A and B are shown apart, each in its own frame.
Chain A
């Protein structure tokens, strides 16, 4: 007759639960990233889906229309075919009437890419706890971001106002510029997609500028210094690079292809 209680009975070693130390066994961070950064990544993933839906829609609708097959020199606006972007976006501020295909949009692209560089420099300065450098590079990023949005405003203004000649429409009237229901450049949906895609992107840039301004104020107040890290700059940096990334795709699919 055993009087030993079950709890003190000898249990073979192999049946014991060994401390589990695997990547997904808990107690550690499998992604080695903070909650905030991880959630920013997931948000950006969902945002990427939204933009991809926009650009894929553009692809679908473009394939639905006739392509323009003539030479770029002989191109004229018509609702019969999809316009070629180099003949729609060929103006530059201050150079009225000069045909500069895609020059302005190329400049805008470079401005946004450069703002991305100043953003990484701000993140890098934050990792070194260099408050002055963080402030400097954040200000440059805000400046380039603002220039980009202003350029886009000019681009929209020009697109909406239209060219000097306008386009003779089917009903015999001449129409200038564009709105959501009519435009002089080609099918109605061309202008609609332009407004929605570049507008949605511009809204993102604008939100990014607001976040950067917050970041600059918090840096200046020493909020991040007291917190012991500049992770907020990194998170907003992720967002800012994403906005730049989207523009890279918009540039290709809306302006080049």
Chain B
């Protein structure tokens, strides 16, 4: 993307104009998602459905932070997969331990 290229000054002392529109756009998206989450916390009663919405919205937010702010979207494919594949393993950890928690719950109550 053109707005992510590193600009070198043509001459010493000459500073290019800031290019920050994409930063503020990302900021407003993240703010809007946070506000939506906050609203849902009070509008909807607690349920699995509500928790799923929270998790999906959180992953959206995480995507914007990692892809834009941390610039991962504009890195090489190799680097993107190097980071993303190990993160995928965490889904397994999450599923395994939540199941375990439910099993303990059923054993006690």
Contacts and interface: CB of A to CB of B under 8 A. Distances in A.
Interface of A: 23, 30-33, 38, 41, 45, 48-49, 52-53, 56-57, 59-66, 84, 86, 101-102, 106, 109-110, 113-114, 116-117, 119-121, 124-125, 127-130, 133, 237-238, 241-242, 244-245, 248-249, 251-252, 256-257
A102 B38 contact: yes
A33 B80 CA distance: 12
Given A59-B97, A84-B46, 11 more contacts: A33-B79, A56-B98, A63-B98, A63-B105, A110-B31, A113-B30, A113-B31, A128-B7, A237-B69, A238-B70, A244-B69
14 contacts: A30-B78, A49-B90, A59-B94, A61-B101, A64-B105, A106-B34, A116-B65, A120-B68, A124-B23, A127-B6, A128-B9, A244-B65, A245-B65, A257-B51
Contacts of A106: 34, 38
Interface string B9-31: 10000011011100110110011
Interface residues of B, number: 53
A244 B69 CA distance: 10
Given A48-B87, A53-B93, A106-B38, A127 B78 contact: no
Contact of B108 (A64, A116, A128, A238): A64
Contacts, number: 141
A101 B39 CA distance: 12
A32 B75 contact: yes
B91 to A, nearest CB: 10
Interface of B: 6-9, 15-16, 18-20, 23-24, 26-27, 30-31, 34, 37-38, 41-42, 46, 51, 54-55, 57-58, 61-62, 65-66, 68-70, 75-76, 78-79, 82-83, 86-87, 90, 93-94, 97-98, 100-102, 104-105, 108-109
